[in-house]
């Protein structure tokens, strides 16, 4: 009885080894490029053999966006790429020796997240006729500071607007004081001042020329213009 069990075990091991040896691998010559302008993308990518995920791992593209893998011929693999500033990318490929030399070329185009060039700071409230920021605005400004902190190369211009009623010079001075107050707040949160420019428009660029309170509230705003990403 022990001899039969031993014989069965050796046979099973031999079968498994033969099965593993029969796998033919193909070299995957891959590259990650931006779908916007075909510029190279350096990012990590996950690959998973389908349908049982019995072969999986991580790789990373180099400074030229290129990566190299050896995957089992004839099998389908799922690829996933996640990178800050880009939409999550997934793609399935079936591994094949396309060129006859044991290699296969793939190019994945990763879509950048399109961010607006001009944004309005929501819920930004100042004391009437003053540059004093209301505590109710801190949450919105903290969100902006976090947004900038995640994008260390971004440079912005804070643009101040008032409604068009009243003295034009006073409105210009008030809008300048308010954007300087926002700049100071962001600086206190750790954003370098050389990334923060300011510009005042007073009441020269209203969103609405209506004289209702609602229209005046819309016109009083601070906008964020992206100068460099």
| Confidence band of 114 (pLDDT split at 50, 70, 90) | confident
Neighbour order of strands in the sheet with 155-161: 118-120, 221-228, 155-161, 196-202
Taken in order of first residue, the domains within the chain and their CATH numbers are 23-110 (2.60.40.2190), 118-228 (3.30.1330.60)
3-state secondary structure of 57: strand
pLDDT in tens, 57-101: 999 999 999 999 999 999 999 999 999 889 999 999 999 998 889
Helices (H), 72-167: 138-149
pLDDT tens by residue, 5-49: 444 344 344 434 444 457 899 999 999 999 999 999 999 999 999
């Amino acid at each position: 009885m022990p001899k039969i069990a031993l014989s069965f075990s050796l046979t099973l091991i031999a079968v498994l080894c033969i099965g593993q040896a029969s796998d033919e691998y193909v070299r995957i010559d891959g590259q990650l490029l931006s779908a916007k302008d075909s510029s190279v993308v350096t990012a990590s990518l996950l690959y998973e053999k389908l349908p049982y995920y019995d072969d999986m791992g991580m790789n990373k593209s180099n400074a030229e966006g290129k990566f190299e893998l050896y995957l089992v011929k004839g099998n389908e693999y799922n690829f996933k790429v996640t990178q800050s500033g880009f939409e999550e990318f997934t793609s399935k490929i079936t591994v094949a020796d396309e060129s006859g030399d044991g290699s296969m070329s793939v190019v994945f185009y990763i879509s950048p997240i399109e961010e607006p060039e001009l944004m309005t700071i929501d819920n930004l409230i100042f004391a009437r006729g003053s540059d004093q920021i209301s505590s109710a605005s801190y949450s919105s400004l903290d969100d902006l500071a976090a947004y900038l902190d995640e994008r260390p190369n971004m440079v912005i211009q804070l643009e101040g607007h008032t409604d068009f009623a009243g003295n034009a010079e006073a409105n210009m001075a008030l809008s300048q004081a308010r954007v300087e107050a926002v700049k100071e707040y962001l600086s206190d949160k750790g954003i370098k001042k050389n990334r923060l420019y300011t510009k005042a428009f007073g009441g020269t660029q209203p969103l609405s020329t209506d004289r209702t309170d609602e229209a005046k509230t819309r016109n009083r705003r601070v906008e964020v213009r992206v100068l460099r990403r």
